[in-house]
Structure 1
């Protein structure tokens, strides 16, 4: 059986603490998972990074590799970026590639790698005009953004429910993009 390679990227929002369960779910669906994090998310999960690397069989990445270093991961069949914060969504849409995961997804658009993202933002952030513009921009570039009906619905500030973050929707979308496992 050939595994489909899923790059699972996450930024610093509370649902990222459930990433081990998401990796296990993805593996049960036949994905070979490579985990990438924003620097802040990597700090949040610092004590779990070795265990997450063992779980995936790949190093967890949050920094760019040096020029000339070989790629540590196989080529992606699909990239899922969740949770994606206000900052990550806006940086990606604007092409501001200061973080490894933002650089990979920004380049992924040009490489034609299928991309799906699900934000994790509160209702105060979505009032900022840039957020909606960024969602529209990403969708126009071919990114499947799971936001609004059928995706993530924002909570009031301080009233997040990370245990209700709809992780299965992200993996369902990744599966639909790449098709059934071989």
Structure 2
């Protein structure tokens, strides 16, 4: 059983609608979960945010805090960013930190926080050269990227299968990183 703090971050992709189940699974594994969302993901899950905060015991965050405001989360032991969209992955790899979750994962590289990222992109985005460049960049900086065999494999555009998203593989990778740390 794992113990420690897991930052669970999600972009606005269909698997994010399953985040409550993922939180429950992580908590059953011993994690203290803090949920962070991109602004669009927060809008998509707006009606669930209070319930998700009650589940985790922490506020759900999607915006940077203002100067002088206290940190409301404990320090992360591991970060899991899933689902990560094309925009979030590329922003992170390029160091464009206009959203809280991308800023935290970018800073997490410099802090040495073990981080797992699993994309959620369709095949059209996967054919864009920047995705491969960004995945390579993040792997070279020590991020565990679950893309391809054993992780996320893109679906043809318009044929998403959010219930088939490999959440178990993502949580297992986070657990493994915690055990190695």
Aligned counterparts, 1:116-135, within 5 A? 116-135=116-135
Establish whether residue 41 from structure 1 lines up as the match of residue 41 from structure 2.
yes
RMSD: 1.2
SS at structure 2 position matched to 1:32: strand
SS at structure 1 position matched to 2:154: coil
Unaligned 5+ segments in structure 2 are none
Which residue of structure 2 lines up, in the alignment, with residue 60 of structure 1? 60
Alpha-carbon offset, residue 173 of structure 1: 0.4
Establish whether residue 175 from structure 1 lines up as the match of residue 178 from structure 2.
no
SS at structure 2 position matched to 1:137: helix
Aligned counterparts, 1:79-158, within 5 A? 79-158=79-158
Give the 4+ runs in structure 1 shifted more than 6 A: none
Residues 84-127 of structure 1 show CA distances to partners (whole Å, capped at 9, x for unaligned) of 00000000000000000000000000000000000000100011
Which residue of structure 2 lines up, in the alignment, with residue 32 of structure 1? 32
Q: TM-score, normalised by structure 1?
A: 0.97
- The answer on whether the counterparts of 2:2 and 2:175 sit within 8 Å (CA) in structure 1 is no
Separation (CA, whole Å) in 2 of partners of 1:162 and 1:82: 12
Say how many residue pairs are matched. Answer: 180
Residues 34-82 of structure 1 show CA distances to partners (whole Å, capped at 9, x for unaligned) of 0000000000000000000000000000000011111000000000000
Which residue of structure 1 lines up, in the alignment, with residue 23 of structure 2? 23
Q: TM-score, normalised by structure 2?
A: 0.97
Separation (CA, whole Å) in 2 of partners of 1:35 and 1:3: 16
Separation (CA, whole Å) in 2 of partners of 1:161 and 1:126: 16
Separation (CA, whole Å) in 2 of partners of 1:2 and 1:91: 30
Separation (CA, whole Å) in 2 of partners of 1:165 and 1:126: 16
Separation (CA, whole Å) in 2 of partners of 1:106 and 1:141: 10
